[in-house]
Chain A
Amino acid sequence: MRAVIALALLLAGMTASVHADERGVPIPHGTVELVSEQQSIQPGQTLLLGLHFRLEAGWHIYWINPGDSGEPPRLEWHLPAGLRAGAIEWPAPKRLPIPPLMDYGYEGDVLLPLRIENTAGMAAGKTVTLAADMKAIVCREVCIPARASLSLSLPVRAERPHEWAETAALFSAARKALPKPTPEGWRATAKDLGDSFELTLHTGRTISQAWFAPLEPEEIENATPQKTASIKAGIRLILKKSDQLLKPISRLRGVLVLPESAYLIDAPVAPRTGKAPKKGAVR
């Protein structure tokens, strides 16, 4: 019996390592890899890449604003001369409650897209290697730093590139998960109520369920439940101000997350009326 268990464990271990070799670099509680949407680079055309995390159940990485703890993954690129890597394009985050705190991030399988630009100088016929050192923190109740040296080699070809069948579904899901620009006709405004912000979105339709993820840390208390009220042709949210926000802000930027979609929001903040705002200077 013991031998059977040992064999089963051995096989499980082997499967795991084969899995890791084929599909990304092992990191604590998951794997990470650089993937490309296309099979080749066409000079002058943007190339879409993705940083693909696959995490064990219960483990997460972080959004650009990680919330109350953690930090987002970072990439340090080593690219052939001339090429430029754009910033990560962040899919809408999930709320990750760790009472009494609240983090923002991603669990399970997530692809963080980014673009490689300025490919005009690449000579057709060559193969280029895109390499990056990745740093992240992988957390459940506890956090473990993760580092990986990632690379991806692609041929440069004059003709229009073919897409990889293997990654097509990943990139299409990633596109869907990206917050969309504020639609034409929407109007986003905010009001400083003293201890909270009132964010009003006129969207042309009633929205019954949504929450707001702020791009900047320390603007709102992440863990305080957001009170929402459906209004005629829109939604209104009350966001409790962070205790650490000492100065008035002029804009509230972030992502409005709906059950099936997400939108970038940039709302001007009307200052508090009546009493003068509290002085921020501290001696």
Chain B
Amino acid sequence: MKRGSACVVALVVAALSIVALAARVGEPAPNFTATDSNGKAHTLSSYRGKFVVLEWHNQGCPYTKKHYDSGNMERLQKEWTQKGVIWLTVISSAPGTQGYVTGEQENDYMRRMNAAPTAALLDPTGDLGHLYGAKTTPHMFIINPDGVLIYDGAIDDKPTPDQADIPTSTNYVSMALKEAMSGKSVSTPTSRPYGCSVKYAH
């Protein structure tokens, strides 16, 4: 009997997680546990009380390169993690596709680029990408201290691979974090994410 009810609970939980599949701004962000490039597990719910940024990443994508080669992404990572934000880079490229890396390769890359996220999550199955509906690299999500998704979209308002566009662009992630941290509502809670398609397994 006990085993039976545990089964029912498991089924209900499974059903719930299917219902909550889409990440939608204004609603609780879907919880997840994922492993980083050092083998350490990160669970979203354990960061309750802090802002969390999710950054979809593919080091071979020209749009990702725009923000890394210019130092823009690394600057954002340093600025916001220093202010207590948990910044999780997520790599959903399937093995054999552009951007797929082992933990060691990702650590080398982060050292070389001076990248400073809290962690880089490896998602070669694409499960985390699908859970959030991540479409492009980059594609940015922000979760507030209550665990609610408050931003889903592009990193900024200039959808090009040109570094020269960065100084004149409005960074939606910084804007949303600033607004949310000062108790305001996020003025641009969604935007069209721009970049390369996430290289999911087919």
Contact = CB atoms under 8 A, between A and B. Distances in A.
A37 interface: no
A142 interface: yes
Contacts of B160: 71, 74, 135
A25 interface: no
Interface stretch (B10-18, B77-85, B109-117, B190-198): B190-198
Interface stretch (A3-11, A95-103, A168-176): A95-103
A141 interface: yes
B95 interface: no
A137 B159 CA distance: 11
B60 A142 contact: yes
A243 B133 contact: yes
Contacts of A278: 26
Interface in B130-148: 130, 133, 135-136, 148
Interface string B163-202: 0000000000000000010000110011110111111101
B42 interface: no
A179 to B, nearest CB: 21
A217 B61 CA distance: 21
B161 interface: yes
B195 A279 contact: no
Given A100-B130, A243-B152, A282-B189, A69 B196 contact: yes
B197 A103 contact: yes
Nearest to A71: B159
Nearest to B65: A145
Contacts of B152: 243-244
Contacts of B45: none
A103 B98 CA distance: 18
Contacts of A137: 62, 161
B190 A143 contact: no
B29 interface: no
Contacts of A139: 196-197
Interface residues of A, number: 30
A135 B159 CA distance: 12
B73 interface: no
Given A68-B197, A99-B202, A244 B192 contact: yes
Contact of A68 (B22, B135, B190): B135
Contacts of B159: 71
B108 to A, nearest CB: 21
B24 interface: yes
B195 A243 contact: no
Contact of B98 (A100, A141, A217): A141
A101 B150 contact: no
Interface string A241-283: 0011110000000000000000000000000000000111111
A218 interface: yes
A280 B186 CA distance: 11
Contacts of B195: 69
A244 to B, nearest CB: 4
Contacts of B24: 243
A243 B22 contact: yes
Given A137-B161, A246-B25, A282-B25, A99 B62 contact: no
A16 interface: no
B97 to A, nearest CB: 7
B189 A143 contact: no
B194 A143 contact: no
Interface in B49-63: 60-63
A158 interface: no
Given A70-B196, A98-B197, A141-B97, 4 more contacts: A139-B196, A142-B61, A243-B24, A283-B186
28 contacts: A68-B197, A69-B135, A70-B196, A71-B194, A98-B197, A99-B202, A100-B200, A101-B135, A101-B197, A103-B197, A135-B162, A137-B161, A141-B199, A145-B62, A145-B161, A218-B190, A218-B192, A243-B23, A243-B24, A244-B190, A246-B26, A278-B26, A280-B26, A282-B25, A282-B26, A282-B148, A282-B150, A283-B150
